[in-house]
Structure 1
Amino acid sequence: MKIQPENLAERIVWRTLIWTWPLYALGALYVVGPVLAWVLTGLVALVLYLGPAIRPDLRATGPIPWLAWLWVVGMIVMLFALWAGHMDWGLGTKKTIKSSIGWAKGWALLALFPLAGAVLPIRREVIIRAQCVVGLWTLVLAPLLLSAPYIGLPERVFTSPLKAIGGPGPEYFTLFLYTFDPSTWTPRWQFYAPWSPFAALLGVIMILFALEEKHRHWMWAGLLAGVLMILASKSRMGLVGIVFCTMCPRLLPLVARTSAWFVVSGFIASLAIWGAIAADIIQAGIHGFRSARADSTRVRETLQRIAYERWQSDAVWFGHGIVRPGPHLVEYMPIGSHHTWFGLLFVKGLIGFFAFLIPFAIHFAVVTKDAAIHPRGRLPLGLLMTFLLLSFGENIEIEAYLLWPALLLLGCHMREMANEHR
């Protein structure tokens, strides 16, 4: 089945997504993501303003869904929390402007892309096929990437001059072929992500999209690329995600069936016999999972503890405004990094924490309900589960520039649900 974009919005999305690898080679992905978000938002404003006067293939399919409004309000509250934190700590106008620009390139994207997907006539099939095209690019480039450390090619090829625009770090503008794991000094790959664990979660998202692809060849391109990204990145989160984020949405409809409750009842009753053994097995598995990369686990847990203690003692409501350098104990990694929830508490306090938690939790509940009764909810639920998993090991806002296809599809799903109830 051939899928081609049919209007301006779809063409913008299609071409941006299928050119992911060339844009990465230019070190431009971190710039393109936010620019795309604001361009699509401008198109949303134009479509809503002109209404029936705009060309038929670009007309809005309905009013903005309430879930999209919830995300918009939440991210605006996030911006106010940022300003309040900067005022509390006297960080000055220059840092406030810089952080506001960072909000426009990060947190704002969590609202803008779903808004664009909910209003603009972008079909989910176009996003799914384009993601599988990226998967084919990945498979074609895989021999070069996987052989690079063994044939003497350098880890990094170059850093784009676009880094002058500003960002979280030079790795967001650098073309890497591979990196070395500092704990084992073995190569691991990050593909078009700034680091390997994030690449693994992008691999999970690739698989989730591919499972919804109706063309068999494109489906296999996406599936194989996703599995490759997870395995080559050597990330524990990716292994967890490939199991739970793909299986749970497909098993959820069973919960609505009476027969499933009998199975669950029997399972719970049997715990009296083998529950202790199962608990020991699970505990051993968790210990093995944590000890697989013990140094990484120690640093992350220490960062989380410091962030929590500093939030509780210094800035409960609006946080510290910005991340702060960590001590030698955490290898000087910034306090407020490597965990979305602890990072929010440290940087933006309780106000920022709930500005993200409330829309995320409500969206998760709505999508879970829809996935239980309708196949269209499987992909959005899997994506939200991946975001949840990602939030426990990364700062989700600084990675939104690569999560935009998933965010856009969440908006498409909002539109589908809203149209059904009209």
Structure 2
Amino acid sequence: MKKKQINQDTKDKDDIQPQNIPEKVVWWAIANTYFIWLVGGLYVVGAIMGWLLLLFLVIKILAQTKDTPVEEKISISWVIWLWVIGMIFMEIALIGGHVDYNLPTSLIIKSSIGWAKGWAALALYPLAGCLNIRPQLIYRAVCIVGFHTLLITPFLLLAPSLHLPQVLYVSPLRAIGGPGNEFFDVPFYEIDGSTGDLRWRLFTPWGPALGFVGNVNFMLALQEKNQKWRYLGLIGSVLMCFVCKSRMAQLCIVVIPLLTSVLSGMSRPRILIGMGFASYLGGIFSPSIIMAIDNFWEGFKAARAASTRVRMALKRIAIYRWHTEAPIWGHGVVEDGPHIVEYMPIGSHHTWAGVLFVKGIIGFIALAVPMAASFIYLLIKSMNKECPTAKVGLSIVMILFLYANGENLEILVYLYWPGLVVMGIGCQETPNSKYLQTKDTKNIEEAT
């Protein structure tokens, strides 16, 4: 009986298939990432998916009756409600900034459409975690993306030697509208404007964005139970982080797993003893540690000095103009910067500075509160071994925190949304979830 059950468990791990419409939609969108990219449809799919999943959620809520089993009823965590309220306040801040600067109604409508494709998605995808979507399905789909990355990358690495064009074509879907051509093109490689080095961005608009996706996918692939798919997913994710040549990506892929393990294990004696011992040694060797950190940070900035200079200047300009010109509602719209920042949009490359410049202190609070609450809530839940998805959700929140200092979260949400769905599942997870019921059934059958 035990051998039969083990064989069945192995078969189940190898064969993960969607079981309902939301799972089918999510599986299709993730597993076919590269095929959708070839037609330039990733931005369109990412913008629509969140609203489609919301429609599924509303239908399921309306279909509930008093006879609906408790485990089938939709309940939304208060943390997810904070994301919903926060992103609504983002729209309020957007309208407030437009009105404050007497911008035309047509521009308010255009900016609101942008909000629906970006900021709103930061609430829509965690909301999708309230649907009956298994995290294991997302883990496997992400591993398939990693496998496809391993297949396509050798050809892309050879593309410069074969003198192929940097960009093969721009999809006709660009006519739908979006931030720029880079969100709809199919590139082979690119040349870094500041260093002249080759770098690859695959299906993302720029190199560091690929590192962002690679880190999210790495933490998801790490949860895959099938060893073959886990290795393919992990190697593919690591490859993304290195071919993009992003400093943040390479730092993040080492730091986040370590931080997640330490923080989620703080209730365990071994971790607490280890942290106490590390704290003791840290106090003794603090001068050397501080010097090493300073040297690392200087080397980190010097690795791409021109890029660092532009990023820091954009941040300073955004914060100064927010503080002196529009502290409450912000400026409402993005503005191009001066020559010193190569005319890049003010507040770009930094979520917090960008939010302050465009949406003021209202927008800043609207993002900071749900992010901080999610971190604390998932940190507490992750200490419970019976809530494994909460630990994954915690790692996703920490990735968002780190990348908020180097990217604009809202503009890339169409790429890393699988991580937000898992974060939402983690917020909903309870010790009595279906995952645990399955595990307990397995233990009973083995005992039999």
When normalised by structure 2's length, the TM-score is 0.90
Output the CA distance in 2 between the equivalents of 1:177 and 1:263: 46
Equivalent position of 2:106 in the other structure:
94
For residue 414 of structure 1, give the secondary structure of its aligned residue in structure 2.
helix
Going from structure 1 to structure 2, the CA distance change for 1:18 and 1:269 (only over 3 Å counts) comes to closer
In structure 2, C-alpha distance between the alignment counterparts of 1:55 and 1:61, rounded to whole Å: 6
Q: Which residue of 2 aligns with 1:416?
A: 429
Cα distance in 1 between the residues matched to 2:284 and 2:126: 47
Taking the aligned partners of 2:147 and 2:288, their CA distance within structure 1 comes to 44
Structure 1 residues 186 and 90, CA gap change in structure 2 (3 angstroms): same
> Which residue is equivalent to 1:224?
235
**Partner SS state of residue 383, structure 2:** helix
Equivalent residue number for residue 128 of structure 2: 116
Alignment correspondent of 2:144: 133
Q: Which shows bigger deviation, 321-330 or 274-283?
A: 274-283
Q: Deviations over 1:172-224 (max 9, x none)?
A: 11111111111221210011111000101111112111110000110011111
2:266 and 2:379 map into 1 onto residues whose CA distance is 11
Maintained 8 Å contact 1:62/1:419? no
Q: 2:384 & 2:376 partners in 1: Cα distance?
A: 13
Contact 1:47-1:60 within 8 A present in 2 as well: no
d(CA) in 2 for partners of 1:416, 1:115: 13
1:271-330 residue CA offsets vs partner (Å, 9 max, x unmatched): 454221121111111111110010000000000000000000000000000111100000
Q: Judge conservation of contact 1:320–1:346 (CA < 8 Å) in 2.
A: yes
Give the match for residue 33 of structure 1: 46
Please say if residues 148 and 178 of structure 1, whose CA atoms lie closer than 8 Å, have aligned partners that are also in contact: yes
Displacement of 1:155 after TM fit?
0.5
CA distance in structure 2 between the partners assigned to 1:179 and 1:289 by the alignment: 22
- Pick one of 388, 404, 409 that aligns with 1:396: 409
Is 1:71 the counterpart of 2:91 in the alignment? no
C-alpha distance after superposition, 1:45-78 (max 9, x if no partner):
111111149999xx95432222221111111111
1:206 equivalent to 2:217? Answer: yes
CA distance 1:403–1:271, change in 2 (3 Å): closer
- The yes-or-no answer on 1:183 pairing with 2:194 is yes
- TM-score (norm. length: structure 1): 0.95
Question: Quick check: 2:95–2:332 contact (8 Å CA) kept in 1?
Answer: yes
Q: 1:348: which partner in 2?
A: 359
Q: 2:262 aligns with which of 251, 257, 261?
A: 251
Other structure's SS at 1:255 match: coil
Q: For each residue in 1:243-297, what CA deviation from the matched residue of structure 2 results, as whole angstroms up to 9, or x when unmatched?
A: 1111211222442234444443343333454221121111111111110010000
SS at match of 1:334: coil
Q: Residues 393 and 427 of structure 2 are in contact (CA less than 8 Å); yes or no, is this contact kept in structure 1?
A: no
AA in 2 matched with 1:70: L
**Partners of 1:110 and 1:400 within 8 A in 2:** yes
Does structure 1 retain, via aligned residues, the 8 Å contact 2:188–2:200? yes
Query: Secondary structure of the equivalent of 1:256?
Result: coil
1:5 equivalent among 8, 18, 28: 18
Question: Aligned residue for 1:46?
Answer: 59
Matched residue SS, 1:97 = helix
Measured on the aligned residues, the alpha-carbon RMSD in Å equals 1.9
Instruction: Verify the 8 A CA contact 2:61 2:74 in the aligned structure 1.
Output: no
| Structure 2 residue matching 1:373: 3-state secondary structure | coil
Give, in angstroms, the shift of residue 343 of structure 1.
Answer: 0.3
Indicate the residue corresponding to 2:418 in structure 1: 405
> Equivalent residues in 2 for 1:248-287 (5 A)?
248-287=259-298
1:122 CA drift (Å): 0.5
Deviation at 1:228, TM superposition (A): 0.6
Counterpart residue number, 1:18: 31
Contact 2:87–2:119 under 8 Å retained in 1 = yes
Q: Is the 8 A contact 1:61 1:121 kept in 2?
A: no
Q: Which residue of 1 aligns with 2:302?
A: 291
Q: Distance in 1 between matches of 2:348 and 2:260?
A: 29
**1:145 partnered with 2:156:** yes
Unaligned runs of 5+ in 2: 1-13, 434-448
Residue pair 1:159, 1:174 contacting (<8 A) in 2 also: yes
Q: Which amino acid aligns with 2:306?
A: D
Cα distance in 1, alignment partners of residues 61 and 283 from structure 2: 59
After alignment, is 12-21 or 345-354 more displaced? 12-21
How many correspondences in the alignment? 418
CA gap 1:117/1:329 in 2 versus in 1, 3 angstroms? same
Higher fraction of helix:
1
